[in-house]
Amino acid sequence: MEQFRRLCAGMDCDFREKSAFVYTLQDGEILRQEMQVLQEIGAPIRYHDTLPLPFPVAGGIELPGQAQFHPLKFAYELARQLPIREHTPVEVLNGTRAVCANGCSVQAKAVIVTTHFPFLKWRGAYFMKLYQHRSYVLALSGAQDVAGMYIDGVEGGLSFRNAGDLLLLGGGGHRTGKRGGGWQELQEFAKRYYPRALEVGRWAAQDCMPLDDMPYIGRYGAGEEPVYVATGFHKWGMTGAMSAAMALCDLVRGKENPYASLFDPRRSMLHPQLLANGWEAGVRLLWPSLRRCSHMGCALKWNGQEHTWDCLCHGSRFSQQGRCLEGPARKDLGK
């Protein structure tokens, strides 16, 4: 938070300090556990029996002094200070020499891979330790000022926040390639609770989900060359990115970092989610289908809401015509 406050000062990125709330509809036990942990680390929390949401809650925990900002405005302001080369995807990494698709190459002292899903197919085994989760947002005008940022403590719940005059309603999520509520779930909710509101925008995004809920920040894989990665933020990309930046600044310069072992991508993979990922990939690899993913060959599923071909194995997505929209796949579908 301190780093964001410092960076955003004087930036045109809609930075606003707000309280963050975790609520539940029924399960008070989740809140009790959350409160216990927050109290242990000395967080200045407040408990609420009711919240300014359009439905009754079992309770909510407020964590004051949090913030929201406009991520694209923020990225644009940062980008203005950096040399950035677009449309030159790296095909191969030889040590710390990056070779691009057009044949040019760049030799670096250290390389940090931040391509959302790491782009090197086998190295580091990220195809086993990550999957992608898709979630949806509606922007509503004439809905409600909720004066904070709200998230359901239970998987699959809704989130609420305001941006300017709009209410951003999030939810409907599912593993990419599986069925989920999508925008339809959000539209039904808005119709019921904000019947006079107008939908002025909607979008979807997807996140890389690690095996144990902790991001992978550190050495890309086995090997001694200085190649690093930051991925698997488990939907906490804004705060996770800052943690990654701080940890990687130290690691690249050969300094100790107190969180390095916690985030180390080479930590044990023994976790129930590894079995779930393996099962899903095995089923989709054997599934008979003519439409197969250009990443590792899993059968693709048609996404009727977004008119795309989606891959359940690691979350690649393709347009109706087969153009690659999202990785880890990097090639279009064959004709």
The three-class DSSP label of residue 141 is: strand
- Which of residues 161 and 284 has its CB atom nearest to ligand FES in the complex? 284
Rounded to the nearest whole angstrom, what is the least distance from the CB of residue 123 to ligand FES in the complex? 15
Smallest separation, CB 211 to ligand FES (Å): 16
Query: Minimal distance in Å, beta carbon 255 to ligand FES?
Result: 35
Distance linking the first and last C-alpha atoms of the chain: 48
DSSP element (H, E) containing 17? strand 16-24
From CA 136, how far away is CA 123, in angstroms rounded?
A: 31
DSSP H or E run through 231 = strand 227-231
Q: Tell me: cis bond preceding 328? Omega within 30 of 0 counts.
A: yes
Closest separation in Å from C-beta 295 to ligand FES: 3
Task: Give the shortest CB-270-to-ligand FES separation in angstroms.
Answer: 22
Site for ligand FES in 293-332 (CB under 6 A): 293, 295-296, 298, 311, 313-316, 328-329
In the complex, the smallest distance separating the C-beta of residue 321 from ligand FES, rounded to whole angstroms, is 17
Cβ–Cβ under 8 Å, residues 135 and 203: no
Residue 175 near ligand FES by CB under 6 A: no
Sheet holding 216-219, edge to edge: 111-113, 227-231, 216-219
Using DSSP's 3-state secondary structure scheme, residue 66 falls into: strand
- 310: β partners: 301, 317
Compare residues 152 and 310 and give the one whose CB is closer to ligand FES: 310
Smaller CB distance to ligand FES: residue 153 or 315? 315
333 counts as binding ligand FES under rule CB under 6 A: no
- Assess 209 for contact with ligand FES (CB under 6 A): no
Extended beta strands in 95-197, E state = 97-100, 105-107, 111-113, 131-141, 149-152, 159-163, 166-175
What's the closest the beta carbon of residue 289 comes to ligand FES, in angstroms? Answer: 12
Contact map string, positions 265 to 294, toward ligand FES, x by CB under 6 A: ----------------------------x-
Return the C-alpha torsion angle 86, 88, 93, 94, nearest 10: -120
Is the Cβ of residue 171 or residue 177 nearer to ligand FES in the bound state?
A: 177
Give the residue with the Cβ less far from ligand FES, 219 or 295. 295
Edge to edge, what strands does the sheet with 90-94 contain?
A: 90-94, 97-100, 105-107
Query: Can residue 251 be called a binding residue for ligand FES (CB under 6 A)?
Result: no
Structure tokens belonging to residue 182: 């999508």
Question: How many residues line the site for ligand FES (CB under 6 A)?
Answer: 11
Binding site for ligand FES (CB under 6 A): 293, 295-296, 298, 311, 313-316, 328-329
